[in-house]
Amino acid sequence: MFTGLVQSLGSINVTSQDEFKIAPQNSLENLVIGDSVAVDGVCLTVEEISGNDFIATASPETLKRTILGQLNHNSTYVNLETSLKAGGKIGGHFVTGHIDGLGCLIESINTNKAWEMVFSAPPSFSEQWHKYIARYLVSKGSIAVNGISLTVADCDPDGNWFKTAVIPHTYQETNLSYLKIGDLVNIEGDILGKYVEKLLRINPLQEDISLSFLAENGYL
């Protein structure tokens, strides 16, 4: 479990089809083999450590769902965050590190106080977007983009796009500042929305709420 607050940028090198070597710019405190690290929002397990660098392997499903499967060059910058410890600060929102799918940057405007960034479905991943991402887009709700906890400032009613307002600190300290129009990003919807959706699907809302219904369910 993570919070979406990036601790360091790092470069990532593809060492094999499913293995990656990550070099953090800032040392990740007390990192040991077996730890979970969010790499651009993807929860990976530390398998080897060499100095400040570490190696992790991605599963076929992870490669299919995330930008890790799209990497074909070295030294790409990624956002890094170690897992949340009991009693730690939750400054963003609960981020699981399980990516729902890919998005792409379609607009980025520098305003006086923030960068307004708009994301939508990549042409070749449109079906994935509408199946796994669009349903969880809620105005003023939480979303993780490349592992960064952000707020949905606005979104299309049909879920075709969403806009975030990124403050200068977040923009400068993460790889959002390296994004170009058309670049792919990892998207994870708010886990709370997913649980609510499932509960409502299993137990639809009661249409006729009466005093007897409330009493039977412990509200009176």
Could you report the per-residue pLDDT of 45-56, keeping only the tens digit for each?
999 999 999 999
Domains of the chain by start residue, with CATH: 8-82 (2.40.30.20), 101-202 (2.40.30.20)
Below-70 pLDDT ranges, the chain: 72-75, 202-209, 213-214, 219-220
Q: What is the pLDDT of residue 204?
A: 66
Residues sharing a CB contact under 8 Å with residue 123, sequence separation 6 or more, in sequence order: none
Q: What is the pLDDT of residue 181?
A: 96
Reading phi first (left if > 0) and then psi (alpha if -120 to 50, else beta), residue 207 is in: alpha
